Structure formats: C-alpha cells, structure tokens
Amino acid sequence: MITFLSTIGHSVIATLTKTGRGALFLKQTLSYTFSVLCQPRLISKQLFSVGVLTILIITISGLFVGMVLGLQGYYILSDFGAEETLGVMIAASLVRELGPVVSALLFAGRAGSSLTAEIGLMKATEQLSGMEMMAVDPIQRIVCPRFLAGCLSMPLLAAIFSMVGILGGQLVGVSLLGVDEGAFWSQMQSSIDFYDDILNGVIKSVVFGFVVTWISLFEGYDAIPTSEGVSRATTRTVVYSSFAILGMDFILTALMFGDI
Amino acid sequence: MEENNTQNSSLVTIRNLSFAREQRVIFDNASLDIQHGKITAIMGPSGSGKTTLLKLIGGQLSPSQGSIVVDGQHINQLNRSELYALRKKMGMLFQSGALLTDINVFDNVAYPIREHTALPESIIRTLVLMKLQAVGLRGARLLYPNELSGGMARRVALARAIALDPMMVMYDEPFTGQDPISMGVLVKLIKTLNDSVGLTSIIVSHDVEETAAIADYIYIMSSGKIIGQGTPQELQQSKSEWVQQFMNGKPDGPVKFHYSSDNYFDDL
C-alpha cells in the first residue's frame, strides 16, 4: 500500500515538475518573440518546413472530409426535404469544428512530430550544447522561430482545410447528387456568420497551433538524449497534442457556443 | 605568496569543487589550476567526470560547492549576458563534433562569426577559409557534416571552435574513435594551434600516449578526486599505484577490474 502511494506521489511530483519546466520553457521562448520577429529570415525557413510542407496532407484530408460530409449530409437532409441547406451544414461543420480540430490533429502528426524529432536529435548530437558554448541561445535561434512559424501556420492550414472541404462537399452535393448550386451557396452565405462561426473557428485554430507547437518543441527540448528517448518524446507529442486539442476544443466550444 | 603567483598565471582556477548528479558524487572537493598558454590534460578512466568538468568550466552546469574562476570571473555568479560574453572567449570541441547538420562546412565555421559580429560577407569568407586552411579542410568547405569522416568532422569542429580567436579551447575526448592518421593529425593540430596562436588548451582524454606527448601538465582523476598531477615525466615516475595503473594501462590495481559484487562462488 505504501509502495502504491509512493509510486503515485512520485508520478504526481514528476508531472508537476515537468509542467513547471514546460511553463518556464514557454516563458523563455516568448521572451524572444520580438527579436525573432525582427529577423524574418529565421521564420520564413521554418514557415516552409512547418507550414508549406503540411499543405498537401491538409488539402487531401480536407477534400475527403468535405466529400464525406456532402454524402452523409445529403442522405440525412433529404429525409426532411432540406437538401438546399447542405451548404450550410457542410460550411458550419467545417468552419466551426472539423477545420480547426482535424487540421490541428494532422498538424500534430505531420509537423509536431517532426519538430520534436528534430529538436530531440539536435540535443542528442550535442548541437544545442554546441550552440550554447558558442554563446548562442538555442531557444532564441532554434526554438522561437519554429514556435512562431507553428502559430502562424496553423490558422492558415485550418482555413485551407475548411475551404477545400467546402469545395469537396460542393463536388459531391451539387455535381454528383444534384443539389441546387444557387441554394447551396446562397444559404451558406446567409447563414454563416463572420464573428460567430468564422472568427471563432480562427480563434480555435490559433489556440491549437499555440498548444501543439509548444508541446512539440518542449518534448523535443526535454527529451532524454538517446534514440529511445527521442522516439518516446515523438510519441508523447502526438498523444499529448491530440488530448490537448480535443480537450481544448470542448472548452472553447462551450465558451463560444454554449450557455455555460 | 606562492599560491597568489600560481593563481595569477592561471586562466582557470578551481577550488574545493563538489558536484553530484542525483545520488552519485562526481566531484568531491577537487581543486586544480589551468595555466595560461599551456596544454593541460585532465585524464582518468571513463565515467570519472572529465566531460562534466568541461561543462562546469563552460558554465553549462553549476557546482554544488566550491568555486570556478575563469579569466578572473566566478563562472557560477555571472548572469546570462556576462556568461555568454565569457563564452565568446572560449572554444569547445565536442566529442561528437556537434556540427549543425543542416548547413555545410563553410557555414558551420562561419556560424559563430555571423552570430557575434557584423562583418561583411567578404571578410567572413576570408576568415573562414583561413580557419579551414589551418585544419587542412579548405577544399571540403562545401561538404555537409554527413559527408565527413569522424576525423574530418572533428577538424571542422576545431576550426569552428577557433573561429572567434578564443583565449582558451576545451577539447572533449579529441582522440576517441580516430584512426592512427587522424589521431596524429589532431595531436599535431592541437599542439600547433596552442603554440602559434598562444591559446590555453584543456584536453579531456583517456588516451595516455597521445595526450602525454603534447601536454604540459596532467591531472589524473578518479572517483571525483584528483589522484595525481604533474608533468608527463613526473607522472611516469610517480610511485602512486593509482597513477601507475592509469599511465601504464594495468587492468587491475586500485581501480578494480571487477565491478563491486558478492562472492563469486556464493553467486554461482
């Protein structure tokens, strides 16, 4: 019994210590934001590897998610003779929920895991120590540009996901299943609100981008500098990011759309 | 008075250093001096804390007790900007080379110069080519770290370590895993650089023969303590069993061949 309690105590202390380290890491990273923003060259390279290289997976996934929404939505709505509202249903689902959430999950799998592995391997091969000994702070040079690139990329990727998703829905709903094109677009235009739907979706994607990039970079920086340590850190990034995205999504949805 | 003189000619002065990692004691009240312009070797068996000592001197770790004074500054009392200013005067050659893998040899050597100076690119090019010429790798400037052999990577790392013309270079196991030719090249380079540029060199190594050939003074460490010190000749003639075991590579002696265990026959 004592051993059991001791084990729980140790794991709680370890979790709290790690959370504290993560908070200090974030504080240090944010403290360099201004100086890194003054050197756009540092961010542009990372925007390419974190953002641009993720566009393909986001576009393909967005297209298929939109097409499935078009199919499912049509079969449900046609039971009630409300096929014309298919555009609203697809757009609202994507802009409010699926766009930010699914693109953040894909972002964690594609860009987040790659950030963790890159930073973790730099630590394992003493590149970060080498920079410190050259009087160059790795948080400023390596971590902060990646963090800003992640925060900037995520809302843009979510927007691309939603846009391509809507086009996918239109392809299935209008071109294949025969929903009236005018009704599809005009109902969407009149029902989707800029502040309630689009802006809230953008806020969600900014929050997810911030959290996923923070988790990814911290896990890499805090990884045990061995091949197994980096491998575990990469797995943790995907798992923790997914939990964080889904948990934060519930909280944000409750705050934005619920009456809580 | 004699102690004062010693301290004045020392670039690094370590007094009563203690350092522990979790339960394991790495240093226990160790004191040593690194003299200006000399090659000082820190030697000892694997796991005796030699690399940790370099990290303590570089301010990457903080001692639990004792003081480390580098160039007249207490390293563990400096704030971040003071520490970084001091590190610009130190070079460190890591065991793995620690080259940045996404840029080529030229950019690796240019990295600290670009970070810390506002020199025009034409001057940076000249400086980098001079450093690469010194290590014999001017022709390899467009190669990437993954295209270099272990010995070449260490020479590039050495060129980078001296890029800002530091007062001191710390070498972490420079000879480990090198073939005889690369090892000979590195031994000669370290000696030449030290003598021609007036560097102070600290070599952490367990390669007795190569290190003793170029070192002016040697400290031998074991179990967190300095167990022997002197010039290579003095250590070769030392009567200490510890020193003799290490210098002559005897498999058994004060440092036991067998890890501490129960009686062999009881265990079978």
Which of B60, B95, B115 has its CB closest to that of A134? B115
- Which pLDDT does position B257 carry in this prediction? 64
Domain-embedded: residue A200? yes
Question: Is A6 in the B-facing interface, judged by CB distances under 8 Å?
Answer: no
Question: Is A132 in the B-facing interface, judged by CB distances under 8 Å?
Answer: yes
- Which pLDDT does position B1 carry in this prediction? 39
Instruction: Give the residue-averaged pLDDT of A78-92.
Output: 92
Per the structure, the count of domains in chain A is 1
Residue B66 has pLDDT above 80, yes or no: yes
Query: Scanning every residue of chain B, which has its alpha carbon at the shortest distance from the alpha carbon of A130?
Result: B98
Domain-embedded: residue A84? yes
Choose from B52, B57, B80, B87 for mutation: most chain A CBs within 10 A: B87
- Of residues A154 and B5, more confidence is placed in A154
- Contact, A213 vs A151, CB < 8 A? yes
Residues of B in contact with A127 (CB under 8 A): 98-101
Residues of A in contact with B94 (CB under 8 A): 126, 129-130, 133
Distance CA A55, CA A66 (A): 16
The answer to whether the Cβ–Cβ distance between A125 and B98 falls below 8 Å is: yes
Shortest CA gap B29–chain A (Å) = 25
Q: What's the topology of domain B35-60+75-89+166-267? A: Rossmann fold (3.40.50)
Residue B235 has pLDDT above 90, yes or no: no
- Residues of B (79-108) whose Cβ lies below 8 Å from A: 84-85, 87-88, 90-92, 94-96, 98-101
- Which pLDDT does position B3 carry in this prediction? 43
- Of residues B22 and A196, more confidence is placed in A196
Residue B264 has pLDDT above 50, yes or no: yes
- Which pLDDT does position B87 carry in this prediction? 93
The answer to whether the Cβ–Cβ distance between B116 and A135 falls below 8 Å is: yes
- Which pLDDT does position B5 carry in this prediction? 44
Helix A2-31 and helix A200-221: axis angle, to 10°?
A: 110
Give B189-226 pLDDT, tens digit per residue. 899 889 888 899 999 988 888 888 999 999 988 878 88
Residues of A in contact with B60 (CB under 8 A): 129, 132-133
Residue B47 has pLDDT above 80, yes or no: no
Distance CA B32, CA B214 (A): 19
The overall average pLDDT reported for chain B is: 87
Domain-embedded: residue A32? no
Domain-embedded: residue A2? no
The overall average pLDDT reported for chain A is: 94
Q: How high is the ipTM of this complex?
A: 0.84
- Of residues B89 and B24, more confidence is placed in B89
Of chain B, the percentage scoring pLDDT greater than 90 comes to 51
Residues of B in contact with A137 (CB under 8 A): 84
Distance CA B20, CA B24 (A): 5
Domain-embedded: residue A225? yes
Query: Scanning every residue of chain B, which has its alpha carbon at the shortest distance from the alpha carbon of A135?
Result: B84
Coil, strand, or helix at residue B10?
Answer: strand
- Which pLDDT does position B93 carry in this prediction? 92
- Which pLDDT does position B258 carry in this prediction? 67
Give B166-191 pLDDT, tens digit per residue. 999 999 988 887 888 888 888 988 99
Beta pairing, strands B200-205 & B217-222: unpaired
Domain-embedded: residue A7? no
- Contact, A215 vs A110, CB < 8 A? no
Give B124-171 pLDDT, tens digit per residue. 999 999 999 988 899 999 999 999 988 889 899 999 999 999 999 999
Distance CA B101, CA B146 (A): 7
Give A203-241 pLDDT, tens digit per residue. 999 999 999 999 999 999 999 999 999 999 999 999 999
Give A123-149 pLDDT, tens digit per residue. 999 999 999 999 999 999 999 999 999
Domain-embedded: residue A5? no
Shortest CA gap B239–chain A (Å) = 38
Shortest CA gap A9–chain B (Å) = 18
Helix (H) or strand (E) holding A76: helix A55-79
Helix (H) or strand (E) holding B37: none
Residue A217's domain comprises 40-255
Question: Is B58 in the A-facing interface, judged by CB distances under 8 Å?
Answer: yes
- Which pLDDT does position B255 carry in this prediction? 67
What the block records as the tokens of B69 is 């004074």
Give A149-160 pLDDT, tens digit per residue. 999 999 999 999
Of chain B, the percentage scoring pLDDT greater than 70 comes to 94
Give B100-109 pLDDT, tens digit per residue. 999 999 999 9
Residue B232 has pLDDT above 70, yes or no: yes
The answer to whether the Cβ–Cβ distance between A134 and B160 falls below 8 Å is: yes
Rounded to whole angstroms, the maximal C-alpha distance in chain A is 70
The answer to whether the Cβ–Cβ distance between B87 and A130 falls below 8 Å is: no
